[in-house]
């Protein structure tokens, strides 16, 4: 399976700005990307990093500085998976489930209505990542053919906000989790769910 | 499989207090319970609602007014599942996956470090639902035998906070989702992820 991984090189993960410096956000997003690429390699996927600017990384890179939706649609020929770069809980097993699930379009929702990963086998399917993409993708794919949804907490957990870091500290094992621990983050008890604190 | 479903009858879902009145929170939590019980019936599970007070419902009810941890441990003989009542995205398929996953203890994490569902086949396993139960359950179960983790966004999505209602409006199909829509809630665009608004 050809697997496109969009990656924004410039000012990544701005919603973590109150916890991480710009340089830290770059390092952390790069560690998440490496975790995603390692899982894709383990699943036998053929990686194509779709970056907004040239990137020094041990994987094939296509540079396209257009907005995410336009860049992905330009890369979206049938039998392509699109996997976001901020899914450090991803595993080989869950990628295999994604790739092997039958359907003209297979969608893995992100928490909050995003689309964290997908497989398109339908030549007319187009993405639209603005404003809660999952309901839109599900509806447009259903008009074109069969749609399947992969139910995975690991795929649903894109790392955007401080609360998401909790999931990484609980369930993560890769470079991004190591980076976070080395940066001084650890689990903290809050009133309800677990939170994070930094030394 | 015997399936224990803890249910607090008194002042449920307090973290939704700024969106729902006390009477609404009772109705909504009851609708979520009904969704969970329907899925358990569909999976062939043998229901035991573990309620803090008598409850008029079409299912066997055991009343135990002790705190959650104590009440569940009193009910936890081997070959028992414990499934929380605030999981309205639950399906027959995901329950079957939970019940059929091998392991002395099988855990389904909730977002934020909780344990939303589990199966115990180990006579010495005890629960402790305080303060981020999932890491504690994973560690204590590993000392007793084999541990498996079920990776499911549906099982990970317990409905506690307003942001959780978004998941229900996107992915839900049962009574709780209908109740929420009838109460005037709908998806709203926010700066990043989808939010909710009420008419």
- How many Å lie between the alpha carbon of B112 and the closest alpha carbon of chain A? 5
Check if B94 contacts A (Cβ < 8 Å).
Answer: yes
Chain B positions touching A167 (Cβ under 8 A) are 111
CB contact under 8 A, B134 and A170: yes
Query: Domain B2-156 adopts which CATH fold?
Result: Spore Coat Polysaccharide Biosynthesis Protein SpsA; Chain A (3.90.550)
Sequence spans of domains, chain A: 2-158
In angstroms, the first-to-last Cα distance of chain A is: 42
**pLDDT at B172 (0 to 100):** 97
What is each CA distance from B185 to B37, B122, B159, in whole angstroms?
24, 43, 15
CATH of A2-158, one of 3.90.550.10, 3.30.70.260, 3.30.930.10, 3.40.50.1820: 3.90.550.10
List the single residue in B with minimal CA-CA distance to A15. B192
Which residues, including other chains, have CB under 8 Å from residue A7's CB and lie 6 or more apart? A29, A33, A49, A50, A51, A52, A55, A85
Q: Are A152 and B153 in contact (CB under 8 A)?
A: yes
Structure tokens at A35: 């975790």
Provide mean pLDDT across the span A56-64. 96
Residue spans of alpha helices (H) in chain B: 22-42, 68-75, 92-100, 133-144, 153-156, 162-171, 175-182
Check if B56 contacts A (Cβ < 8 Å).
Answer: no
Confidence label for A131 from pLDDT (cuts 50, 70 and 90): confident
- Residue from B91, B92, B83 nearest B110 by CA: B83
Mean pLDDT by 10 residues, chain B (199 residues): 95 93 96 98 98 96 97 96 98 98 98 97 96 94 98 97 94 97 89 70
Residue spans of alpha helices (H) in chain A: 22-42, 68-75, 92-100, 133-144, 153-156, 162-171, 175-182
CB contact under 8 A, A112 and B193: yes
Chosen from B162, B190, B192, B197 to mutate, greatest number of chain A CBs within 10 A: B192
Side-chain half-sphere exposure of A127, counting CA atoms within 13 A: 33
Beta bridge partner(s), residue B2 = B46, B80
Residue A156 CB coordination number (10 Å): 28
- Residue from B140, B92, B98 nearest B116 by CA: B98
Check if B191 contacts A (Cβ < 8 Å).
Answer: no
**pLDDT at A192 (0 to 100):** 64
**pLDDT at B67 (0 to 100):** 95
């Amino acid at each position: 399976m050809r697997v496109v991984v969009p990656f924004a090189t410039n000012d990544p993960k701005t919603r973590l700005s109150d916890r991480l410096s710009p340089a830290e956000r770059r390092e952390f997003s790069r560690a998440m990307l490496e975790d995603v690429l390692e899982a894709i390699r383990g699943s036998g996927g053929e990686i194509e990093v779709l970056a907004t600017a040239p990137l020094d990384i041990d994987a094939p890179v296509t540079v396209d500085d257009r907005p995410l939706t336009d860049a992905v649609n330009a890369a979206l020929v049938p039998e392509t998976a699109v996997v976001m770069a901020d899914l450090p809980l991803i595993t080989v097993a869950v990628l295999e489930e994604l790739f092997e699930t039958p359907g003209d379009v297979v969608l893995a929702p992100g928490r909050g209505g995003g689309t964290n990963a997908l497989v398109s086998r339908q030549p007319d399917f187009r993405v639209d990542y603005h404003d809660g993409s999952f309901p839109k993708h599900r509806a447009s794919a259903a008009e074109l053919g069969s749609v399947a949804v992969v139910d995975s907490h690991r795929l649903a957990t894109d790392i955007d906000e401080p609360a998401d870091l909790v999931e990484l500290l609980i369930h993560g094992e890769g470079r991004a989790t190591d980076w976070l621990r080395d940066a001084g983050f650890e689990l903290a008890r809050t009133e309800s769910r677990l939170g994070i604190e930094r030394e």
